[in-house]
A and B are shown apart, each in its own frame.
Chain A
């Protein structure tokens, strides 16, 4: 999440709303956000219904897998980063910039 925070300017420039999502409690995510200085909301899917529906729940650990989705303004998925690739938001920022160019 820290690296997404560091790229906040890029996401803002592309007029993209950024959300982190984990299965942790809202309190854990609030503490995490405060510790890391992440400005965007970190949402809690503590019932795990949404991550399970997306096929992102690692049943062995009970945690969500690391995946980043970039949606266009119509809510359609335009870019997906999975696993280690999702640690680096550079591609996601690029996808957002591209979306902005398309709509201009």
Chain B
């Protein structure tokens, strides 16, 4: 490691200054706390849904676009409670369109 000091208009090498600065720098480095050891941890599992087996599913009314004649989009909606007393319902929540599954 080399430090230059300014004398007049020129930068010059000073052995004594270099010794002082090097010792000082090393001491400062030695005092820095070592980074904490990294322990590999698996991501925590996502929290379970608020609705459990045996509990009623909260009602919803959500829209979708059905394919109409000539490829036209027909706005429709589904109300969960409309199925009550009629048939079982499977609700598959997924992150995003064009995702696997």
Write the residues of chain A forming the contact surface with B, with a CB cutoff of 8 angstroms: 1-4, 11, 14-24, 26-35, 41-45, 50-51, 53-56, 58, 61, 63-80, 82-83, 86-87, 89, 92, 96, 99-100
- A1–B51 touching, CB < 8 Å: no
- B63–A44 touching, CB < 8 Å: yes
Write the residues of chain B forming the contact surface with A, with a CB cutoff of 8 angstroms: 45-60, 62-67, 73, 75-76, 78, 80-81, 83-98, 100-101
- A50–B62 touching, CB < 8 Å: yes
- B97–A83 touching, CB < 8 Å: no
A-B contact pairs, 17 of them (CB 8 A): A3-B101, A17-B88, A17-B89, A19-B78, A19-B91, A30-B73, A42-B64, A51-B93, A54-B58, A54-B93, A55-B50, A66-B94, A71-B57, A75-B81, A76-B57, A86-B92, A92-B92
Q: Within the assembled complex, what's the spacing in Å between the Cα atoms of A83 and B48?
A: 10
* Smallest beta-carbon distance B12→chain A, Å: 56
- B49–A43 touching, CB < 8 Å: no
- B90–A21 touching, CB < 8 Å: no
Interface centre among B60, B67, B90 (most CB of A within 10 A): B90
Q: Within the assembled complex, what's the spacing in Å between the Cα atoms of A66 and B67?
A: 25
* Smallest beta-carbon distance B97→chain A, Å: 4
Q: What residues on B are CB-neighbors of A63 within 8 Å? A: 95-96
Give the residue name and chain of the A residue nearest to B74 (CB).
A30
- A71–B89 touching, CB < 8 Å: yes
- B91–A96 touching, CB < 8 Å: no
Interface centre among A3, A51, A58, A72 (most CB of B within 10 A): A72
- A73–B87 touching, CB < 8 Å: yes
Q: What residues on B are CB-neighbors of A17 within 8 Å? A: 83, 87-90
Please pick, from A29, A74, A87, the residue contacting B100 in the complex, using a CB distance under 8 A.
A87
Please pick, from B59, B66, B88, the residue contacting A41 in the complex, using a CB distance under 8 A.
B66
